[in-house]
Structure formats: C-alpha cells, structure tokens
Amino acid sequence: MPALHRHRLSMERLRFWIQTLWLFLSNGYWAFPVSGTLYQGPLKVLCSPGLNCYSCPAATTFCPIGSLQQLLLGARLALQSGHAYLGTYVLGCMGLFGTAFGRLICGWACPFGLMQEMLHRIPSPKLGVPAWLGWGKYLVLLVLVVVLPLTVVDDFGLGLPWFCKFLCPAGTLEAGIPMVLLMPDLRSAVGVLYLYKLSLLALVLLWSIASFRPFCRSLCPLGAFYGLFNRVSLIRLKFNADNCTKCGACHRICPVDIRVEQSPNSGECIRCLRCCTEACQYDALSVEIAGHVWRTRPAPFDQPAR
C-alpha cells in the first residue's frame, strides 16, 4: 500500500474515533430506556461544542444553538420585566470554541456531521454542493436563530425557537423520533409539523449519501458561526506560496471543494486535515497551532509529480 494512502487512512481513522468519542461524551446517559426521562443531572449545564439536541434522551450536554435561541426568544419579555440577560455563558462558550478551534469542531466533534459522513460512504453516484448554497447557513443563523426569535413574539413578548422547531434535522433524529418511541403519550400529539420534520430529515439523510455533509455546508447555523472564526482561531492552516507548484492535489482531495491554495482558512473548511496532511508533497500546507507550525508531511508519492 502506498505510504500516502496509509497516512490518509491513519488520519481518517483517528478523526472517526474522535468523532465517535464526542458522540458518546455528548450523549452518555443510557439509562433513559428504563427511566423514561431526559437526563437532568449536573452535566446538563455543559455546552456541547457540536450540534447536539438538548432534548435527546441520551444527551448529557446542551446544544449551543438551541440555548442561544432560548436566550433570544425571551429577551423582549425579560426587558419588559426590567431584566437584562446577556447570556454570557452561552455566548462565551460558543466564542471560546470558535476562537480556539474554528470549524475544526465541525470536522471532529459534531455528532450530526459524523452521521452525514457515515451515510456518504454508501456506494452511490456522488454530487458536489454548489458553492452558492454555502450562504444558506449564514442566512439561517441570521434569520432563524437571531432575527425571528427576537422580533416575532406573542402577546406575552415571547418568541419561538424557529430553527429548532421548523428546520433542525439533528433535533428530529436525536430527540423527535426517540421521544415519540419512548413516551407513548406523545404519539397523540404527532401532527403535520412532525411529519414535515420527518420528511426534511429524510431528505437531508438521502442528500448525505450523494453529497459530503450537505447540511453542514448549506444550512447549519453553528457551522456558520464557527466559520466566522476560521481566519483567527488558534488552529489554522498555513500556506507557503513559495513551495506551491499549483498541482491542484489539495483541491482535488478536499471534501468540501475549497481552493485551499487561494483561501486556506475559508469559512467552509472543517479542518479534516486531508489536504494538509495527505495531498501536498511539497510542504506548502501545514497546520498552525497558536503560532507553532505542525507539519505532518507524508512520504512522497510512489510516482513523481508531473
């Protein structure tokens, strides 16, 4: 087996096991089939770095996007009653994760991202995701997560968690389906909205078979938030133009179709480390951690570059 291919398998295997570890760290309460309730222990005050629904019966952490919405949908009511909640804990956790890791969290610590990647391994014709769809996640972050919960309120001054209620497929998969199965009393409440969310989840999962992480790339507001930090996070890609031969190997292997030589710290990059640790044999790409360069240059290709 070529040395480069072995290196690729090694990195992908490491990333898979770290993703799996985070899946179980974020969802470590496996007594729910017996208890029939959500976990409400002391760990539930911890912010999950990835998209992980608070209402998942196994969840031991809370979702940052869900919590941000809860903060914003009650902001008008809080101000009317003379209180001002800044949400420093939720925003602080999200800012800390973003500043330290950027979208590396998407690539290494998001349970729903792992689900999409596993589905993408199913043999099928593969399709790209049009670049313009990447703006969708920023629109979702701005409109569904921030603007609508703040501005569309009921008579009591309370808004709705628009993203969680009307869009989030992770919540349907992790909480909606398990809770209906776990609590028979909820089945009578199943209606058009639930069926719509199931259909949306099915579409995302089917899309994931053909395209690499389509939800992350086009609709995920948490990915959009972390992407804003990619250029300033402690973990970044470093590009050395003097070493680059413009062979295009990094672009060809990039799962999210980034022109790495043009924008090594694009907000679309999930830091999977494929291009910087596999494709470039000229040391033009490396990982920079808090200013220190970490080079994981693989052995040369079996055949010389042309």
d(CA 82, CA 76): 10
The arithmetic mean of pLDDT across residues 122-130, rounded, is: 95
Q: Please, what is the average pLDDT of the chain?
A: 87
Domains and CATH numbers, the chain: 3-227 (no CATH), 236-294 (3.30.70)
d(CA 295, CA 278): 11
Q: What is the predicted pLDDT for the residue at 9? A: 60
Q: For 297-300, which contacts have Cβ atoms below 8 Å and span 24 or more sequence positions?
A: 298/3, 298/4, 298/7, 299/3, 299/4, 299/7, 300/3, 300/4
Q: Each residue of 131-144: pLDDT tens digit?
A: 999 999 999 999 99
Q: State yes or no: pLDDT of 296 exceeds 60.
A: no
Residue carrying structure tokens 């290196």: 7
Between 301 and 267, the higher pLDDT residue: 267
- b/e per residue, 124-146, with b = 16+ CB within 10 A? eeeeebeeeebebbbebbeebbb
The DSSP element (H or E) to which 137 belongs, if any, is: helix 135-140
d(CA 66, CA 71): 9
d(CA 180, CA 134): 33
Q: What is the predicted pLDDT for the residue at 298? A: 47
Share of the chain above pLDDT 90, in %: 55
Residue 120: partners with Cβ closer than 8 Å, 6 or more residues away: 126, 208, 209, 211, 212, 213
d(CA 272, CA 136): 22
Residue 33 in 3-state DSSP?
A: helix
- Phi/psi at 79 (5° precision): -70, -40
Find, among 10, 93, 114, the residue nearest to 47 by Cα: 93
Residue carrying structure tokens 């002391």: 42
Q: State yes or no: pLDDT of 81 exceeds 80.
A: no
Output the CA–CA distances (angstroms, integers) from residue 213 to 163, 166, 270, in the order listed. 18, 20, 10
Residue 237 in 3-state DSSP?
A: strand
Q: What is the predicted pLDDT for the residue at 246? A: 86
The arithmetic mean of pLDDT across residues 244-258, rounded, is: 87
DSSP designation for 220: -
> 36's torsion region: left (phi>0), alpha (psi -120 to 50) or beta?
left
